[in-house]
Structure 1
Amino acid sequence: MSGGSGGLGAGFSYQKFVHVALEQTRLRTALAPHPSQEKFKFIKTNEDNTIFNALSFSAPKIRLLRSLTIEQKNSVQVLDFAAFSEPEYDLPIFCANAFTSPARSIVVLDLNPLYDTTEHKDYRGKYYRNLMPLIHKYSELLPWGGKITSESLRFFSPIVIWTILEPTEANHQVLYSAFMDYFKVWLELMDEAVQGTSVEKIDRNREAQHKYLTWRAEKDPGYPLLKKLIGECAAKELVREFLFEGVDSLGTKSFLEYFPEYAQEDGTVNKKRSMVGKSFETRPWDAHGQFVGDAGDG
């Protein structure tokens, strides 16, 4: 990789993140190609200078582990990496989204909670109480990225990294370190997870994951770029059948059944972003993971 203190240049790639994450996963469990991989492995783009790389797997406790990287020479680099457990486990969802242009990197890295940690304090205690040192480690190196609405916070956890950085080699190394720390934690949680036996709880986990997938498939901020690069039809398929695979099979509820506040008079979904709730200039959780956003600005 090229580097120094300047821009990342042509040597920069999110492929390293993916390769090492898959290596780490294979040390703990047996990965098998997910059915979605065959269809999306070789995506043709409308622009010659753009390379798509899509991989997806499953494992005994993992319903779907998938990555998408987009590389445009001397232009845009994108990482979209996620891991979803089988519904027998209530594990958080590992989520890493990074969009890097020559000017800046926009990053979200989190263990997205299956259940709202403000309402479900037992879930916060189970998964996040012992993980707060992670965000303490990175909150200064990868500072809060500025104003974000409660709409966007809907599926974030108290340890979320949401940041906007200058795309330097040094910042990229910090981001790589954070990515690997967070992913190793997710793998440890997966290792320790005990399979649930209550049909009611498993159904609830399945619906919670489906609700998350339904939200992400509808609100994916990368969709305009995908549409530009591979066309509307292929972009829709990629979102629903690869990035958020399960949205059409884990449940039957529609976006508006989960989120009725987005319904317009004609029954369609209001496409505006950031239309619901207040916004937060600073991290709206305290050092213990307690939500303190209501004390923030409106």
Structure 2
Amino acid sequence: MSDRMVSAPVRTARADVLLASVGERGILCDFYDEAAADIYRDILHEDSWEAAEYAGRVRGTAGPVLELAAGTGRLTVPLLDLGREITALELSGAMLAILRERLADVPAALRDRCTVVQGDMSAFELDRRFGAVVISPGSINLLSEAQRSGLYASVREHLEPGGKFLLGVPEKDTGKPDTLERSQEIPGGSGRRYVLHARLVPAERAREVTICPADETADPFVVCTSRISFVDADQVGRELGEAGFDVLERVPLVFGGGRHQDVLLVAAPSGDR
């Protein structure tokens, strides 16, 4: 679920406080950098319902599939189960390393149908077209408006006639919550616990996220940061229309408890039905 430029991590106010308190033990990194890879893997929770919604709609297309911001492969492996050729594009080297490890554990018949490419989903050129292009929820919120425009243009250039663009987005704008800052503990699969701190920046329509170990004695004490833009299904739908797409479906992505906060938009180039 990532497609970040390799750059200096976001300096959040919370990160500065944490780093000052732990001294030389502190390491600041982007959540998708190599230093944070173990934390990302530890707290990543995958849900079969999400992959099932994507797979059900990819089945209605023909030809190879392009997955953008593939991350650690939460959609990649389920899509390979459909028997299709998959190109998984991801910019973060740390995420690619985890994805390759994961693919090494699947049967060769599946692995051989997957091509892994390092690239930026907001500006890519591949020497083929695809019957479907997919992006998992969360990734588009890490792009600026200009980057989203580049994404839509790149996708149009890589879709086969009749191809579909499937992208997960938040259902509603989350830029107006009750509090400007909040912290919560989150469990990792290893049993370790982490603290997630989120701070809103309303003027910039963004949220700064800081994640660190709950154990204040951890050495090294890795502080991960990221910046998330406010963008929801209505806004993305409008942007798709301006970019020459028609939104064909708007499907709630339903959690096990019957709730949903993300929407799967299924789009196609205008006039290409």
TM-score normalized by the length of structure 2: 0.30
Larger proportion of strand: 2
Larger proportion of helix: 1
